[in-house]
Amino acid sequence: MMVSAIDDSYLKKRYALLEAKRISDFLKEEPPETVIKIAKFFNWKIRRLSIQEGGKFTLHFADFLRNASIFHEKEWKLVNRQIVKGEVTLTQSEAVRLLEEEVKRHIEKRLQTTDFKLPETIAARVDHLKQLLMLRKGELKTEEMPKTIVVDAFPPCVKALYTAITGGHHLSHMGRLTLTTFLINIGMDAEDVINLYRSLSDFNERLTRYQVEHIAGARGSRTKYRPPKCDTLRTHGICINPDETCERIRHPLKYYQRKLRTTQKPSS
């Protein structure tokens, strides 16, 4: 109720994510029957296989796709799953992971309700929490962005990707590649780049760390990767809201360098 009353989209997403992960942790320890009971609350077409069949779950492919479509790992692609008569085979941990997404959306939807009046004592607490939230969001923004980075100099495409990721929105594979390579090349530390992805519901620290460090040249071939050229970004639909500067450059790093000349640089 208090989160709804504060009516801040960032807080709502963070709260829903926290609650969904908490419930997910509980469900991992519950018997299969409880997992199925919760799943059927969301009208999932789910059933448990017999012990002779492996004791796993099967889920209708439509329910699977609705919740797995935002995941980027190859094991969540439908083409890589075992499907029999329209049902996808899952382990309990996989079923719980999909339920986490369902729960998160459910909570976010419930938090949209703001048409109620609070008692004065609770309203005062809400006002206090709003002030704390504004302060904390400012601190988080300062912590997440290294002082050597000038966000105002980002090209429109990268700025849109950065805004999306800091808001907890998912990016396509090309979007993640573009943002990560750009930030690494303008001086952001690999650890800070990894932290940007922590708010995502499908965050996998081991995988994210490997990919970011590989791009930064700290793993594998030790080659530091550069962002895709503007032509490539246009092909993949990443180029959005181009401005006058975009018309004169062919690479997002060139845009950044040019913009820095007209943007106040932070002190070193």
Chain centroid to CA 156: 20
Could you give the angle at the alpha carbon of 40 between the alpha carbons of 37 and 46, nearest 5°?
95
Which residue range is the domain that position 221 belongs to?
Answer: 145-260
Q: Are 81 and 63 in contact (CB under 8 A)?
A: no
118 found inside a domain:
no
Q: Are 162 and 141 in contact (CB under 8 A)?
A: no
267 found inside a domain:
no
**DSSP one-letter code for 217:** T
pLDDT for residue 72: 65
CATH number at residue 81: 1.20.930.80
Kind and range of the H or E run holding 207:
helix 205-215
Q: Are residues 8 and 86 in the same domain?
A: yes
178 found inside a domain:
yes
Q: Are residues 155 and 231 in the same domain?
A: yes
Extended strands (E) in the chain: 46-48, 57-60, 83-84, 87-90
How far apart CA 5 and CA 133 sit, in angstroms, is 13
How far apart CA 267 and CA 119 sit, in angstroms, is 47
Question: How many domains is the chain partitioned into structurally?
Answer: 2
Stretch among 63-67, 77-81, 158-162, 166-170 having the lowest mean pLDDT:
166-170
Q: Are residues 101 and 189 in the same domain?
A: no
What are 166-217's pLDDT values in tens digits?
A: 888 889 999 999 999 999 999 888 888 998 898 787 888 889 999 999 999 8
Q: Are 142 and 22 in contact (CB under 8 A)?
A: no
Q: Are residues 85 and 157 in the same domain?
A: no
Q: Are residues 95 and 174 in the same domain?
A: no
Extended strands (E) in 81-120: 83-84, 87-90
- Indicate the pLDDT class of residue 268, thresholds 50, 70 and 90: very low
Point out the domain boundary residue: 91, 110, 129: 110
Q: Are residues 237 and 190 in the same domain?
A: yes
The pLDDT of 130-154, averaged and rounded, is 68
- Tokens, residue 178: 């573009």
Chain centroid to CA 231: 26
Chain centroid to CA 86: 28
127 found inside a domain:
no
pLDDT for residue 263: 66
Find tokens 């460090």 and name the residue.
Answer: 213
Could you give the angle at the alpha carbon of 200 between the alpha carbons of 219 and 30, nearest 5°?
105
Mean pLDDT estimate for the chain: 86
Q: Are residues 98 and 20 in the same domain?
A: yes
How far apart CA 192 and CA 168 sit, in angstroms, is 15
